[in-house]
Amino acid sequence: MAGKLGQGLQGVIAAIATAVDERGEPDCARSIALARFLLANGCDGLNVLGTTGEATSFSLDQRRRVMTAYAESDLPLTRMMVGTGAAALADAIALTRHAAELGFAGALVLPPFYYKGVPDEGLVAVIETILSATAARPIPLYLYHFPAQSGLPWHVALVRRLVRSFGDRIAGLKDSSGDMAYAREAAAIDPSFRVFPSAEAALPQARSGPFAGCISATANLNSDLCARAYRSGDSAALAEAVAIRKLFDGKPLVPGIKALLAHIHGDAQWARVQPPLFGYPAADRAAAIAGYDTVRAKRVA
């Protein structure tokens, strides 16, 4: 059964973007400045190097450098999970070990995503190998369920098997599928198993229901609203947070998030993404800025 390991992570967690410089390298200084801003403006924690952080577009060395830069800042790693999933098991082990050595509160693990239709035994072997390789520093693992991107689900029966086999090392799950029935079923596996849907709309259920919080890309933009919704049940703030998320419906999310970060922080460098992603089209950028400013103007009024 899941236990106490890694249970410091809860509430509003931003899937924080990673700044990219003109050479295509991660811009650690800008990224850490954003992390500091988000933690000071409503976020209970951060998910570093997830999908919004473009982790799989960076090399192993680049990902290690980002992780090390966070560790060398004065930011609280006890409030952060970091993405360590990779297509190659050796890379996932290396990243998870690095996360453990640096002191991150958890490692967020995608299934190895190249081969599709693999048996459960193959995925169990991956997790068992990562756990064995990090036994000396037992960092909690959070499963990353995003089948639309990875092509492989952490289906509920498999998650239950992992929790029963490996106990509190399997601390929780981030669900980016948008399937709330799946999220609720996963959360019911064990009272200590911490499930984080990816949308702000789940925050009311996180206040008193089955979820530990939410891990959201758009919390880069609306962390203060999410915090009001989560901490005090502010329904108007929740509606505004959801309205900001809806600005990206049907559009590329990560370039859109970064385009709005450039607007919010008055820093055009934030709009840069790592290939194969591409910058947000000008018309979409203008529409997102107008929509965002309208939502914010309502709160000021």
Query: What positions carry a catalytic annotation?
Result: 144, 174
Cis before 153? omega within 30: no
Kindly report the number of other CB atoms within 10 A of residue 24's CB atom.
Answer: 12
**Axis-axis angle for helices 282-300, 253-265 (nearest 10):** 60
Q: Nearest Cα to 60, choosing from 29, 89, 32?
A: 89
Q: How far is CA 140 from CA 11, 63, 82, 189, 226, in A?
A: 17, 19, 11, 17, 25
Show the beta-strand stretches assigned E in the chain: 11-15, 45-48, 80-83, 106-109, 141-145, 170-175, 194-197, 213-216
Q: Nearest Cα to 39, choosing from 96, 72, 77, 93?
A: 77
Q: Nearest Cα to 105, choosing from 245, 10, 189, 211?
A: 10
Q: Which two tokens stand for residue 34?
A: 């954003």
Please, what is the end-to-end C-alpha distance for the chain in angstroms? 49
Q: In this structure, what DSSP letter does residue 106 have?
A: E
Cα 233 → chain centroid: 23
